Structure 1
């Protein structure tokens, strides 16, 4: 005989993971919203909504993201919390090598990722490589819960999905970790590849050791043979005017005298 509490209200818990959003949309950033949109496109919209109350009530006890797998515990109506698992197909090492080269080759993408942000055009870049940042079909994802509900996702899995979306708000690298590449490993690869792309900076010239330059240490440095640049004439600008006469008076020559006088400063008293 089934336990009557199996279909009753959930047991309230203290200290669970609680969605920050109290009403309306939970995901805030474009990449988190995109994740929820993808799940809803699989026909999960109605079922996801049932988990939103669980997410906001703090029924999810814990949630962790690792390569290809998200696991968590959700408190339902039974005393023992339910175990939830959400799997994602990871990219192969060869696919990640192509991804890293593509991202490192785009200065904006590399800069955004190194600053901890998800570039707006990153989805298109993945698609250019024939890959998808977010799952394209349900075949790329696996979900299961230890509860007796046969629907996938059940409200426990749905609650985990909402909190997962919020975790993507705080750390977009969790999406990439889910796809098989951790934050530090990816950033190290991007730094290395960016250094290769940009090329090493020319080395600064090194002074010879003191022991090898004692004979010349106290001598004057060589005098530069580069000729000094001639100071421009104060009236050089007037050369561009050409002849200019007013009532027979050469205005340009009068202006030259004025320019030269201003450049030489006030007359000194004898």
Structure 2
């Protein structure tokens, strides 16, 4: 099944980011290849398009009936650039939704430029190509046709630019930091977090868990029901609580 372009005449690509991708690619293609590639793309000669990290590829049907495998490469970010990109992107929590909805904010691209980054090719030199045909060194008309299919696809789905750079929408979402436990205030040490002595937490679900078990404040009779009379007696004696004598009479 071939891919049919929506554009039937004129320039291919309407959004600013599709136009930027097209302009960079056309500087690589040259005028002659750009014209033949555009015609082939509109004729539905590109059979499929697959976009993965650093690579867009597809089969292109030649006029002689042969299928050729064409590819266009835009390298993924190296680790340092990736971290810097994520730092900038995560400061814009709306960015994943906008990209998923087909909108790549131009102001975000300008912000990336301050760190010498771009989701788009920063010139023809950043793009490379290959094809299974014998038109070497190229780029051939099959690569050119693939380029125009990619441009129109990116027009509608700019998230493909993210994919080429080795990123996903999920990467743009800043990880949630674990909440640091709050230090217990005076009066909270032995009453489960309530400063008023009521033994109830004061309303914040992020409050720390109740204070650790304190055997000196435990009813020996209740403790005996859980762990048995002899262990309860030993605990009461060990801590020398006032209840130690009661333990021997109540649970002995």
After TM superposition, is the score higher than 0.5? yes
Deviation at 1:108, TM superposition (A): 5.4
- Consecutive unaligned residues of structure 2, counting only runs of 5 or more, are 181-201, 206-252
Structural mapping, 1:22-61, within 5 Å: 22-42=8-28, 44-61=30-47
Give the superposition deviation at 1:115: 4.5
- Select 2:148's aligned residue among 162, 166, 183: 162
Residue pair 2:17, 2:120 contacting (<8 A) in 1 also: no
Partner of 1:212: none
1:191 aligns with 2:173: yes
Count of residue correspondences: 183
What are the Cα deviations for residues 128-170 of structure 1, in whole angstroms up to 9, with x where unaligned?
A: 1122322234432211112232362221111100000011022
Q: Helix, strand or coil: the match of 2:119? A: coil
TM-score normalized by the length of structure 1:
0.60
Distance 2:104 2:68 in 1: 32
* Misfit runs of 4+, over 3 Å: 106-111, 113-116, 203-206
Out of 70-79 and 149-158, give the one that drifted further: 149-158
The answer to whether the 8 A contact 2:29-2:139 is kept is no
Match in the other structure for 1:104:
90
CA spacing shift, 1:123–1:152, aligned 2, 3 Å: farther
Whether 1:146 and 2:146 are equivalent positions in the alignment is no
CA contact (8 A) 2:70 2:130 kept: yes
Checking the alignment, whether the CA contact within 8 Å between 2:72 and 2:128 is kept in structure 1 is yes
> Unpaired runs of 5+ in structure 1?
1-14, 207-270
Structure 1 residues 12-91: aligned runs within 5 Å: 15-42=1-28, 44-91=30-77
Question: Who wins on radius of gyration, i.e. which is larger?
Answer: 1
Distance between the aligned counterparts of 1:48 and 1:177, measured in 2?
A: 24
* Range that drifts further, 98-107 or 49-58: 98-107
